[in-house]
Every structure is written in C-alpha cells, then in structure tokens.
Amino acid sequence: MIRFESVSKRFLDGDVERTVLRRYSFEVSDGTTVSLVGPSGSGKTTVLNLIAGLDVADSGDVLVELNGVTLSLKGMSSAARARYRRQSIGYIFQFFNLIPTLTVAENVRLPLELTGRRDLEAEALSRLDALGLAGREDSFPEQLSGGEQQRVAIARALAHRPAIILADEPTGNLDAENAGRVVDLLCEQAAAAGATLVLATHSEFVAGHAHQRLDLQR
Amino acid sequence: MSLLLRAVLRQLVAERWTTVSVVVGITLAVLSIVAVHLLAEAVKSQLDRSSPGSALGLSHMLHRGALHENDYFELRARWRVGSLASVEALVPILEGRVTARRDAKALPRRLPIRVVGLDPLALPGASRSAIPSLDGDRSWLTGSAGWISAGSDLVVGESLELPNIDGPVVIIAEVEIRSTFDDPVLLVDIGTAQRILDRPGELTRIGVLRRIEERAWMRVAERLFPGLGARRYVTDAPWKVSGYQVEVLQDNGQRLFSGAVLFNLSALSLLSVVVAGFLIHQSAVNSIRQRERVFDRLRALGIDERRLVLQVVFEGLIVALIGSVFGLVLGWWIAGWLGQLALGETASSLLDGAEGTAIAWAAGKALVFGPLVGCGSMWVAYRSVFGGVRKRRDGLLVGCLMMLGGGVSFSATGVAGAFLAIAAAALAAALLVGPALVFWAQAPRGMATLVGLLNRRNLAHRSADVRVALGGLVIALATAIGMSLMVSNFRVAFEAMLDQRLSADAYVESRVGFTEAELAELRSIVGPDSTIRVERREDGWMRAAGAGRLGASFIYDAGDVDALRRYGFPGPLPAGGILLNEPGARRHGITPGDLVEVSGSHGTLELTVVDIFRDYGASSPRVVVAPETGAALFGTTAPRAVAIAGLDSEHSTALYRFAERNEWRTRSDADVRSLALAVFDRTFRLSDALVMLAVAVAVVGLFNALVAVRLRRAHEFRLLHSMGFSVGEFLRLNLWHAGMLGVHAVLVALPLGLGIGWLLCGVLNPRAFGWSIPFSVSAEALLVPAALGLAGALLAGALPGLRTIIRGDYLDA
C-alpha cells in the first residue's frame, strides 16, 4: 500500500519558488497498476520520486506499507531510504535506463548484486527470454534499439522482486508499435511478480492499461 | 554587446566551477613564473653588486709578471691607434695589504686592510657616477681621502693612519666592491696607493672595460627565461692581448652557480605553465564536447569555423587574463616568501628594491604566458574535437625518442639538450598515459563484482575525458620524483664531501698569516692530544693543452696521506702529481694522466693530474699540490689557516680566547658543516615549492576532468541512485575512480621520475654545474611524491563527488 497524506512539494526554479504538489493525497493498494496522468510540469515525476524516496515531502508524508510494516518516508534517514529503494523499488526511466559500460546480462544482475539476492539470478536472466531478448545477453546497451533497451530496463527493474515498480514515461521515447509491446510486457511482468506498478504518462493508451488513474493538474 | 560575446560570458558563468578551477590553475602557473622572475632579478642585482670589478664597471683584468706604469702607457698608446678592439676604458690598478692604525677609541686598533689604488678619471663614465663623492670631493687627489668597501667595520668620516704617508686618510664614502678576501678594501688614488705600499711606479694589473657583444634578442631571452645564458660564464675568454694574461671578471663561479640554479627554477616555473596548458586543454575539450550540438546549431545558422574558433579562443583569453592578473598579484606576494626560503632574510629587501623594469617584465610575462597558454590550449582543444588536428601520436613519440636520445648522447647540446631530453621523456609519457590506462583497465582479471567491473570499464570508457589531465599529473609527479631523487642523492654526496673536508674541530685564520712563533704558541695551547694541520692557499693560473689560461686556487697543505684523504685520494701524491677538482677538469676536458701547466708568483711547472675530486659549490679550478710544489710555485708564504683536530672543551676555550686576543678568526668545522647543509636545504626548498605548485595545478586539472566525467555519468548516477545507491557508496565510487587514476598516474610517473632523476644527476648537473652526482634510488624519494599524487587524485575525486552528492546532480538527468 502506498499512501500520500496531504503532501506538498516545492522547488526553486531559479530564484522563483514553484509549488508542484499542494496538499496532495491518494492511496494505492498492493499489486495494482496505477497511472499518473497529467501535462508536463504537473508533478508526475515528483510523485514517483517521492514514492522512491529520492525526494522528501516538504509537508505531509508518504507512507508505504511493506510486509505488514508501514514506513514513513519523511521520517527516514537518507541511508534508510537508500536501503528501502534498493530492496523494494524498481525504477524505469524514459531515457538512459541502462549503464552503458555493462552488458545486458550485467545490467540485469546489478540490482541482485546490490541486494545480495544472487539466488534470483537464473529467474532474472530467464525473464530476458520472456521479454524477447534471448541471445542479447552479452550486448552492450549502445548495440540495442530503444525498444530493446526499455525491455532490458523492465527486466532489470523486476530482477530483485521489488514490491513497487515506478515507470516514468516508459514509452515516451518509443514508436507506437514498440510502445504497445513494452507497456504490455511491463504490466504483464509486474502482475506476474505481484508488484505495485505506478506509471507516469501523458499517453491515454498507456494510462488505459492501469487499474487506477490519478490525474494531476499544473 | 554582440550576441556571441554574450554567449561566451554566459558560458563561463554557466560552467562556473570549470571556469574557477581553470582560473586557479592559470593563477598558480603565472604565480610561479612571476615569483621566479622576481627572485631572478633579486639574485642578479645581488650578484651585480658583489661581482669583482662590477662596481668599477670593468669587464677584464690584464696581468703580466711585473707590471709598471710604462706598460700601462704603452698599452694606452696601442689602444689609441685602434689595436685593442672594443675596449672602452683602461684603468691602472695597484693592490696590496697593509695594517692600518685607527682612532684611539676604535676597536680593533690595528686592522689589516687591502689598499686598492686606481685612477678614477680613467674609469668609464657610468662607473664614476656610481662611486659616491667622486666628483664632489676632490680631496682624494691630495692623497688624504679614500672610499671603504661597504659592510666593513670602518665607517665614513673615520681617519686611518697608514704606512709611508704623512697625515691620515679620511674615509669619505662607502662603495659597493667585493673582494675575495675578508679584509676591508680601501680605494685611493693610484699615486697614494704606490706611496702607502711603497711600490713607486708599480702596478698589479690593468682593468679593462670591453663592450660585451650581447645581442638584443639574447637580453630579451634572458629576461624571459632567467638563467638561459648561464653557460656564458664558463666560456673561456676568447679575447687576447699580446704580452698579457687576460682574466674575465664575469667568469666566476657565483654567477655560473646562480645562473644554473635560475635556469633550473625557470624550467620548473615553466613546468607549471605546461601543466596549466594540459588543464585548460582538458577542460576545453570536455566543455566543447558538451556543446557539440550548440556548435552544430551555430554552424546551421551560417557562422563560419573561423568565428567559432575565435569564440572558443576568446573564452580562453578571458579566463587566462583573469588568472594572469591574480597570478601576478599573488606572484609578487609569494616571491617574498619563496625568497625567504631560498635567500634568507635578504630576499625581502632585494624585492623591495626591485626596479620598475623588473616589475614591468614580470607583468609582461604574466600577461603574455597566461593568455598564450589559455588561447593556445583552447584552439588545440577545438581543433582536436572537430577533427582539425590529425592524430600524430606515433610521429610525436618517435620525435620525443629522438630528442631524448640526441639530448643525452650529444654533450655539445649542453644544458638545453639535457632539458630537452627531460621534456621529451615527459611528453612521451603524457602521450602514452591514455592508451596505457585503457590497456590497464581492460586487462583480464579474476572474478569481480559488477560494481567493480562498472568502475574498471568506466576507467577505459572515460579515458578520453581525463587523459590530458592525467598526462599533466604524470609530468608533475615525475618531476617531483626526479627532483626528489636528485636532491637526495646530491645531499648524500654533498654531506660525504663535507665529512671528508670538514673533519677538524676548529679552524683558525689569520688575515696577515701566522708566524712560526704564533704556530708554536698555538701548538702549546691546544695540548699534546690535538693535531694541527697547517694550510697554505694561494691563487695562481693553470693551462691545459690547447686551452686558454684560467685562474685557479692552489691548496698545498696536502703533505700527508690523512690530508689527501680529505680529497678522496688514497695515498701520497706521486712526484709531479696534482689533484684537480671536477669543475676544473670538466671545463678543460682533463682526465687523470693529463699534463697541465700551472703557474704561481714564483714560477711555472708542468704537472700530471693524478686524480679528480668532487667539489660541489665550486665552478672554477682548484688544485691540490704537494707542499714542495706549492713552495716552488709561490715561494715561502706564511700559512693563513690551521685546522685543529682532537680538541677537548678545555683546550677549545683556551684556543678561542687566544685567537680573540690576536684578532684571528675562528670557526668550528661542525658549525660550517651544519651551515652548509642548511644553505643546501634552503636552496632546494625553493625547487620543492615550485614542484608542489605544479602538482597543485595538475590536481586542479584532474579535478576539472573528474567534474566533466561526473556530468557525463549523471544519467548513470541517477539510475544507480534509483537502485538504492547510498551517499557513502557514491563517495566510494568517486574515490575509487579518482584513486585508480591516481594509482595509474603514479605507476607511469615512477619510471619517468626515475629517468628524470638519472638525467638530472648524470646529464644535466655535469653540464650545468660541472659536477656529477652518483645516482641511487631511495624509497623516500619515490614514496613521498607517489603518496602526494595519490592524495591529490583522491582529493580531486572527493570534491566533485561530494558536490555531486550534496547538490544531487544525478537527479538532473
């Protein structure tokens, strides 16, 4: 379960303070797929970053319940949030999702190494087959197409069995055919893993894949 | 303001960290140039003030066995008919030593002084105006007035009673004049001197001012690169005057030594500039690469290449000018501090008295070197990013190897050849450091974690972003290692030489020489357990086959094996054999077994050089001969110094009291030894400071490169952050990257530093100073610069790493 309790977040844009989120509240149940929809600058990425603990709310709190324990992200130290992210979050970005100097297989194995879950290696690598990347394990990211890179990112985000998967415009950089394939695979794999998937998008097509829709305004 | 100019200024502000670090690098480089320039001017003015003959404005001295006034007049006649080319003045000089009686209240009452008589009206105009009261007080013509050398115990207005003349001689002014002896010098009219010394009609020598044919470009080159002309002090006088021996006054070791030290310091200050060039180049390459799209857009707008290059060069100019101005101001300030290290207390007064021209030259150098390096580095960076510079690494490497081989093999290339060899070796290492990094990072290894693999691959992947800065760090570290090796080896050899020479407990000198009675009394005072070694030293001449005649100092106390051991010679001198010091041997190309002609006041002999001894600090010939040879050359002279060994404290006190009563100068060899080592350490502290400046510039360069790498890895960092990388892990990642670069720089710098150390000891020193330094490798000389390089690299890595973490730059991707 993810719960935003009256969360506000401001940023400095030059010398001007800009409020991105004002007393924003919502709740998402475990194992559901949620889409965050809104125009650019409406705070979609901010919501993802707050869930991931990359940002901290200026007021209000973000609560995440994992294995029956509720975590208050605002009250956690930076190190504790890093540990939480490492164990429980899988993040997929629009661009630059992979480490350029690691191969496909190494990119997928990286979160397992960080969490110490080497026992999941076979499962994680086998997911590459399901994602249509068989035979590309030893390729470097620059040798893959955009769609392939994004599929590797999905495999990497799911590798350590995180409870929450955050995807920031995962199809924003892909053509329609690839976008459809990637979002289908993402939703399918997240559901198979029982993870909560939060998708930030301004594509109605992608948003249509979600169980729950949250609209954000500028 | 043009839009392009506005774009340049905004670019500098947008990349303010890079701008600031480049300004810091340029500041440090210009600072070292300005500081060395001002120190060089201070040293030069000190030398000009103390050089023999310089106060009199004379360039040469003419000698012959017995010289009379008639010889002088005959020479003047030859000069008038034009047979003495380039001569501008001829001055008759008579010199001798007498004991003066002072006023009743003055102590000591009796004082040995050197009387120098000359015809002031024959002096060149510039010299006459440099002698205070020469034209205003004509009393010296009457024989009742004279000048005293500055720094003596005698004061202006004091009256001296001198032998053979009626009435006192009153000191009317002080004059800057140096003597090879410690006695005060009294300058009087030549007629007065002849009466005082009771040598009517006689002269000692004839002073000459000969116009030095120095081209304007040489003077400019010397100003640009202090010490460049040091070698001219070792060239033998090509000028000959029939019937006379010609002594070149500038031919003195002090000038050679200072010139060589200044050359060394100038090279070290240029090292900072070169490393700063690496820094700017690296920063420019990184900055231009980040703006490649911007340049493409500008090209699409119709802006031609020339304009784009100008824009980039203009960026370099602005940054370099700011750095140069800071460097100039700080250089002036820091020159005093460096001067304190090298010259002691005299530095600040020398700098305070610096001439306007010296300051203008310092400012000029700052405002030329800084912008030149800034604009040049930016231009090369732009051309290298956009493909205008072809890859010439292999050709450059071959060129470097040829320069290295040529500079080492051909001794005729002199000091410049040795420096070129060092520069070539350094450049070759800088060229190879990038490929070596890639090779090293990609070398197969055992099992590694993915984070380790990521780090290692990044070393290779990002090598283009750091290789120039890494090259700068390698050069700076290798120079530090080489200098450290040279100084440590030099110190060991110097200390060994001091141990050989300064083995006595006390050293007693008499200005007028010891009588046999005084020596006997000395023996009774120091007790039966002490040994007394009498030293006789005189100045004479030596000439090797096919070479000109040179002044030489003769030591002929070497009557026993113990005394000869002080010069590293194991046994008694064979008949007709002499020992010659290394600088003297090098200047004439003499090796053991060669015959040389030596002459003194009593005769000339042809003798065989049986061994050559190390003589650090000397640049002119020093000859050790047997006592009987010395007697044949100089006759029976009173010994002027005795060395006493085995002295206990009781007898030591008695000796010092006795010496004080007789106005003898005493010194402890232990004190001299520690003083000499202190001077040695002080001199080389300056080199250390300059090398540290270069290392600092290199670390700033690496910092810049690592900032650029952080920016290029921002997306990667964002991803790692999203995967739960903690602050500590990011810091470790940054430190690992910087640390590995530091280790790589050290690994490349170590062999290069060893090579530079060998070149400094075995090639440069013999060519510049005339002495060789045995080369050995000490762990400290290697480890300290290596640790410094590693610490510098870690610091350079920690700062942008911390900044990344604090500012969260990885989130901006």
pLDDT tens profile B47-59: 555 444 445 667 7
User: Range with the lowest mean pLDDT among A57-71, B2-16, B238-252, B655-669?
Assistant: B238-252
Give the span between the Cα atoms of A63 and A6, in whole angstroms: 11
Helix, strand or coil, per DSSP, at residue B174: strand
Give the span between the Cα atoms of B656 and A9, in whole angstroms: 87
pLDDT at residue B477, as a whole number: 92
**Of the candidates A96, A100, A114, which has its C-beta nearest B724's C-beta?**
A114
pLDDT at residue B751, as a whole number: 94
pLDDT at residue B49, as a whole number: 52
Q: What are phi and psi of B776, to 5 degrees?
A: -145, 160
CATH number, domain containing residue A177: 3.40.50.300
Contact flag A101-B723 (C-beta cutoff 8 Å): no
pLDDT at residue B47, as a whole number: 57
Q: State yes or no: pLDDT of B628 exceeds 80.
A: yes
Give the span between the Cα atoms of A171 and A150, in whole angstroms: 8
Contact flag A113-B715 (C-beta cutoff 8 Å): no
**Residue ranges per structural domain of chain B:** 1-51+252-390, 53-222, 404-501+677-813, 506-674
Confidence of residue A139 (pLDDT cuts 50, 70, 90): very high
The secondary structure of B709-729 as a DSSP string is HHHHTHHHHHHHHHTT--HHH
Give the span between the Cα atoms of A198 and A46, in whole angstroms: 12
Residue B309 makes CB contacts below 8 A (sequence gap 6+) with B379, B382, B383
Residue B556 makes CB contacts below 8 A (sequence gap 6+) with B536, B537, B538, B624, B625, B626, B627, B629, B630, B631, B633, B634
Handedness of CA B796, B801, B806, B807 (dihedral sign): positive
**Alpha carbon of B572 to those of A14, B434, B598, B614: distances in Å?**
87, 59, 20, 18
Give the span between the Cα atoms of B51 and B251, in whole angstroms: 10
Which residue(s) pair with B508 in the sheet? B642, B666
Angle at B102 between CA B101 and CA B104, to 5 degrees: 115
Most confident of the ranges A138-152, B245-259, B520-534, B647-661: A138-152
Tokens of B16: 């303010």
User: Range with the lowest mean pLDDT among A150-164, B277-291, B321-335, B474-488?
Assistant: B277-291
Taking CB atoms and an 8 Å cutoff, what residues of chain B touch A115?
724
Give the span between the Cα atoms of B606 and B593, in whole angstroms: 12
The alpha carbon of B781 is separated from its chain's Cα centroid by a whole number of angstroms, namely: 21
Closest Cα in chain B, distance from residue A85 (Å): 5
Does ipTM come in above 0.85? no
Give the span between the Cα atoms of A201 and A173, in whole angstroms: 12
Give the span between the Cα atoms of B42 and B59, in whole angstroms: 21
Q: Beginning with the edge strand found earlier in the chain, give each strand of the sheet holding B205-210 in spatial order.
A: B159-160, B169-175, B145-149, B185-189, B110-118, B87-101, B205-210, B60-63, B245-248
Helix, strand or coil, per DSSP, at residue B593: coil
What are the start-end ranges of the H helices in A24-161? Answer: 44-52, 78-88, 104-115, 121-130, 146-158
Q: Decide which of B318 and B18 is more confident.
A: B318
Q: What is the mean pLDDT of residues B186-200?
A: 90
CA R_g for chain B: 32
Contact flag A95-B728 (C-beta cutoff 8 Å): no
Question: Over the stretch A98-119, which tens digit does the pLDDT of each residue have?
Answer: 888 888 999 999 889 888 888 8
Is residue A204 within 8 A of residue A196, CB to CB? The reply is: no
Cα dihedral: B672, B673, B674, B675 (round 10)? 40
Q: Decide which of B711 and B625 is more confident.
A: B625
Q: How many folded domains does chain A comprise? A: 1
Question: Over the stretch B267-317, which tens digit does the pLDDT of each residue have?
Answer: 777 777 888 888 888 888 878 887 887 787 777 777 778 888 888 898 889
Taking CB atoms and an 8 Å cutoff, what residues of chain A touch B441?
none
Q: What is the mean pLDDT of chain A?
A: 89
Q: How many CB atoms lie within 10 A of CB B405?
A: 12
Residue B294 makes CB contacts below 8 A (sequence gap 6+) with none
Closest Cα in chain B, distance from residue A5 (Å): 23
Question: Over the stretch B415-451, which tens digit does the pLDDT of each residue have?
Answer: 778 888 988 999 899 888 888 888 888 777 665 788 8
Contact flag B449-A113 (C-beta cutoff 8 Å): yes
Give the span between the Cα atoms of B648 and B196, in whole angstroms: 43
Give the span between the Cα atoms of A122 and B133, in whole angstroms: 102
**Alpha carbon of B203 to those of B179, B189, B336, B400, B454: distances in Å?**
18, 12, 45, 57, 85
Q: Which of B134, B18, B14 has the alpha carbon at shortest distance from B465?
A: B18
Q: What is the mean pLDDT of residues B200-213?
A: 81
Residue with tokens 């955009």: A146
Handedness of CA B103, B107, B113, B118 (dihedral sign): negative
Contact flag B715-A96 (C-beta cutoff 8 Å): yes
Is residue A15 within 8 A of residue A177, CB to CB? The reply is: no
- Measured in residues, chain A has a length of 218
In terms of CA atoms, which chain B residue is nearest residue A115?
B724
In terms of CA atoms, which chain B residue is nearest residue A54?
B722
pLDDT at residue A62, as a whole number: 95
**Of the candidates B449, B453, B725, which has its C-beta nearest A82's C-beta?**
B725
Confidence of residue B758 (pLDDT cuts 50, 70, 90): very high
In terms of CA atoms, which chain B residue is nearest residue A89?
B723
pLDDT at residue B73, as a whole number: 92
What is the 3 state secondary structure string of B76-104? HHHHHCCCCCCEEEEEEEEEEEEEEECCC
Taking CB atoms and an 8 Å cutoff, what residues of chain B touch A91?
719, 722-723
Confidence of residue B808 (pLDDT cuts 50, 70, 90): low
Contact flag B457-A87 (C-beta cutoff 8 Å): no
Give the span between the Cα atoms of B753 and B426, in whole angstroms: 9
Angle at A175 between CA A170 and CA A180, to 5 degrees: 60
Is residue A120 within 8 A of residue A105, CB to CB? The reply is: no
The DSSP letter of residue B237 is: P
Q: What is the mean pLDDT of residues B310-332?
A: 89
pLDDT at residue A84, as a whole number: 92
Residues of A with CB under 8 A from a CB of B: 49, 52, 54, 78-79, 82-87, 89, 91, 93, 95-102, 106, 109-111, 113-115
Confidence of residue A25 (pLDDT cuts 50, 70, 90): very high
* Best of A101, A115, A150, A160 to mutate (most B CBs within 10 Å, chain B): A101
Give the span between the Cα atoms of B779 and B754, in whole angstroms: 11
Question: Over the stretch A162-211, which tens digit does the pLDDT of each residue have?
Answer: 999 999 988 887 788 778 888 888 898 889 889 999 999 988 888 888 99
**Of the candidates B453, B461, B724, which has its C-beta nearest A85's C-beta?**
B724
Confidence of residue B7 (pLDDT cuts 50, 70, 90): confident
At residue B511, what is the residue type?
Answer: R
Give the span between the Cα atoms of B639 and B744, in whole angstroms: 61
- CB pairs A-B closer than 8 Å: 74
Q: How do B549-555 and B622-624 pair as beta strands? A: parallel
For A80-94, letters b (16+ CB in 10 Å) and e give: ebbbbbbbbbbbbbb
Q: Which of B602, B589, B588, B498 has the alpha carbon at shortest distance from B556?
A: B602
- Measured in residues, chain B has a length of 813
pLDDT at residue B99, as a whole number: 85
Question: Over the stretch B393-416, which tens digit does the pLDDT of each residue have?
Answer: 778 888 889 989 998 888 888 777
Residue range of the domain that includes A56: 2-215
Give the span between the Cα atoms of B476 and B478, in whole angstroms: 6
pLDDT at residue B813, as a whole number: 33
The alpha carbon of B484 is separated from its chain's Cα centroid by a whole number of angstroms, namely: 16
- Kindly give the interhelix angle for B649-661 and B516-526, rounded to the nearest 10 degrees: 150
Confidence of residue B803 (pLDDT cuts 50, 70, 90): low
Helix, strand or coil, per DSSP, at residue A5: strand
Give the span between the Cα atoms of B713 and B147, in whole angstroms: 76
Residue B776 makes CB contacts below 8 A (sequence gap 6+) with B489, B492
